Amino acid sequence: MIIPAIDLIDGQTVRLYQGSYDKTTQYQQTPFELRDLYAEAGAGVLHLVDLSGAKDAAKRQLPLLKQLMQQSPLPIQVGGGVRTEQDVIDLLEAGASRVVIGSLAIREPALVQQWLRTYGGDKIVLALDVAINDKGEKTLPSHGWIEASNITLEMVLDGFIAAGARHVLCTDISRDGTLQGPNVELYQELAAKYPQILWQASGGVGNLEHIRSLRGSGVAGVILGRALLEGKFTITEAIQCWQNG
């Protein structure tokens, strides 16, 4: 499945380079224009990220997200700064198909596991961003990629799977926003090791060949951000490539 992504700061469509707010590119298309374009082309799910809310809970864009989701012709998964159970409730009530939870899953795994049990594995996406160190370990920076950690992906996955996790969005930080190609080997390894998870690959896709390279990796979906916004290929071409090779 092709999953186009829209990152939002103060209502504007943006992209961060490798997670840095200091490296922000703003785009002309509104999130509503993009949503409708992607839906019309046949995208399966839309991925929304509230970057304002991720940085500062007081700046959450819930009214905008609600508007985008309640009028949406396609399912939407949404994240960015989910810190409390009320945040989960608010987003689900606002129309989210799934709520994406990132750094909190690393900092407070027991809490997020409880939410998985409460709301079910199909309502939550774990966004686990990996930084592969010089030992080849998949470490998980814990706060918007800002704080390094010694926690590895494998350390946390078993507990989440036991709690009912079904969807995991995995980003190789070193590839994010670079258009240099996805880490296919990472996804092959994860999909083989954890076949019960529907993996979403994120980071590095810059051309149709990159999408093609992920088709046999075992991932269930591919997140596309910058490449679509910069016209490297169209959403229609991406969907056709994913479906037909």
Q: What is the pLDDT of residues 196-238, one digit of tens each?
A: 999 999 999 999 999 999 999 999 999 999 999 999 999 999 9
For the CA atoms of the chain, what is the radius of gyration?
A: 16
Which pTM does this prediction carry?
Answer: 0.93
Backbone angles phi, psi at 212, to 5 degrees: -60, -40
* Strands 221-224 and 2-9, sheet pairing: parallel
42 C-beta neighbours (distance < 10 Å), count: 13
Half-sphere exposure of 242 (CA within 13 A, CB side): 25
* pLDDT tens digits for range 132-155: 888 999 998 765 544 556 788 999
Say if CB 138 and CB 185 are below 8 A apart. Answer: no
Reported as a pLDDT band with limits 50, 70 and 90, residue 173 is confident
Q: Is 176 annotated in the active site?
A: no
Q: Is the pLDDT of residue 36 over 60?
A: yes
Q: Please state the rounded mean pLDDT for residues 74-98.
A: 96
Q: Is 7 annotated in the active site?
A: yes
* pLDDT tens digits for range 2-17: 999 999 999 999 988 7
Residue type, 12: Q
Domains of the chain: 2-244 (3.20.20.70)
Looking at 22, 56, 87, 129, which residue is catalytic? 129
Looking at 7, 50, 172, 176, which residue is catalytic? 7
